[in-house]
Amino acid sequence: MSDSFRYPTTTILLHWLTAFLVASSWFVSQIIDLWPRGARMPVRSVHILLGLVLAVVILARIALRLAGRAGIPPHDPGLLNRLARAAHLLLYVLVIVEIVFGLANSWVRGESFFGLVTIAPFDPANRTLRQLVGDLHEITANAILIVAGGHAAAALLHHYVLRDNILRRMLPGGSH
């Protein structure tokens, strides 16, 4: 593969938008409980909004891949490439599962989305179900951060140790 290979701008934009949405959503989830109980709805609504935007971005990324327009380089049979492809697949699966758990969490808990839309709780008396779905949502979010951290570490390894062009291919902007 040519050392000058670059991902298409759309792929780069969606990649970094995904990273921003995952990180922002996780951060907002960490500060929800800092607000008094009666004042948490707007913060929870921001968290839900970030998750919904993430769902749209992931669907766009999947559509680009299925259409063959994501600019994925030709398959290299090497071990590093197989590991990278497995990590990417795992990230996609985890993000999709996280979105499903987030939607389930909103339904199980019952939510008010910025006071505009109210989702009635699925089974208000079932605290065990609420706890289970909330825990699964949290565990999956943490798994995403761990795998994404490994993904970022691998990119830095490529850049600083292997000194190849892998990281530069995904950086925004012109030629790097």
Beta bridge partners of 112: 118
Query: Which helix (DSSP H) or strand (DSSP E) does residue 141 occupy?
Result: helix 127-157
pTM of the model: 0.90
Whether 111 is covered by a domain: the verdict is yes
Question: Which regions of the chain are under pLDDT 70?
Answer: 1-4, 74-75, 174-176
Number of compact structural domains in the chain = 1
Specify the CATH number for the domain of residue 106: 1.20.950
pLDDT reported for residue 121: 95
- CA 141 from centroid of its chain's CA atoms: 8
Strand partners, 111: 119
Specify the pLDDT at position 174: 54
Pull the structure tokens for residue 44. 């929870």
Query: What domain range includes position 55?
Result: 9-170
Whether 1 maps to a domain, the answer reads: no
175 domain-assigned? no
Q: How far apart are CA 87 and CA 151, in angstroms?
A: 7
CA–CA gap between residue 176 and residue 24 (Å, rounded): 27
- The CA distances from residue 46 to 10, 54, 93, 95, 96, in Å, are 25, 12, 23, 18, 19
Is 73 contained in some domain? yes
110 within domain boundaries: yes
83: which 2 tokens?
A: 């590991």
- Tell whether 3 is covered by a domain: no
pLDDT in tens, 12-59: 999 999 999 999 999 999 999 999 998 999 999 999 999 999 999 999
Q: Residue 111 gets which letter from DSSP?
A: E
The single-letter code of the amino acid at 132 is: L
How many residues are there in the chain? 176
* Confidence (pLDDT) at 71: 81
